[in-house]
Structure 1
Amino acid sequence: MTRDGHPRATHPRALSPEVFAQLGTGHVGYLRQISSDDLRRLFPGTPEMARGLRLWALLGADGTPIVVSDSREAAIANALETELVMVSVH
């Protein structure tokens, strides 16, 4: 373990899927373009919305939804405001 409680590993394969998913939680985020059709799955409890709209979701390192916006710039601004490091996921 490191001082901040994260497991120490020398190779990514040494991490369990659960531990790997927790790396960067609260510090790292990524943007994902989604359809309004996916909105209720990612953000349970959201109101009905017109189908087929393009939206941007800001997700935590473990995939936890943080915010959704109709603007990529607004989602990025939220990441900067909450001091998340943005990473590219391919």
Structure 2
Amino acid sequence: MVHGTDFRKAPLSTAEFAAIGDGRLAYVKPILSEELNALFPQAPELEPGLALYALLGADGSPIVVADTREALIESAREHELVTVSLH
């Protein structure tokens, strides 16, 4: 708040998130194997409790999954994507 003015804005729409970074921005999200099929329905079922990393577009659309963060970052580079991590 600046001098009594509230600058909060409504959340961005899916299209607005998709436009961030001109479609070249993606984020890394740690997930468990139990969450895999919700993001990637075509993925095979894995044993529960495995730590994985998903690369998602700025709008949340799934791109790729890997078992290490390093492999995921390398895949993003190959596809000329800029990655960010969320905390």
Please indicate the TM-score interval, normalised by the length of the shorter structure. Answer: 0.7 to 0.9
1:46 aligns with 2:43: yes
Aligned to 2:75: 78
Segments of structure 2 that go 5 or more residues without pairing to the other structure are 1-6
Partner SS for 1:44: coil
TM-score (norm 1): 0.76
Could you tell me whether the CA contact under 8 Å between 2:15 and 2:59 is conserved in 1?
no
1:5-20 equivalent positions in 2, closer than 5 A: 13=9, 16-20=12-16
Give the Å deviation of 1:15.
Answer: 7.6
- The percent of aligned pairs where both chains have the same amino acid is 47
Count residues with an aligned counterpart: 80
TM-score (norm 2): 0.78
C-alpha RMSD of matched pairs (Å)? 2.2
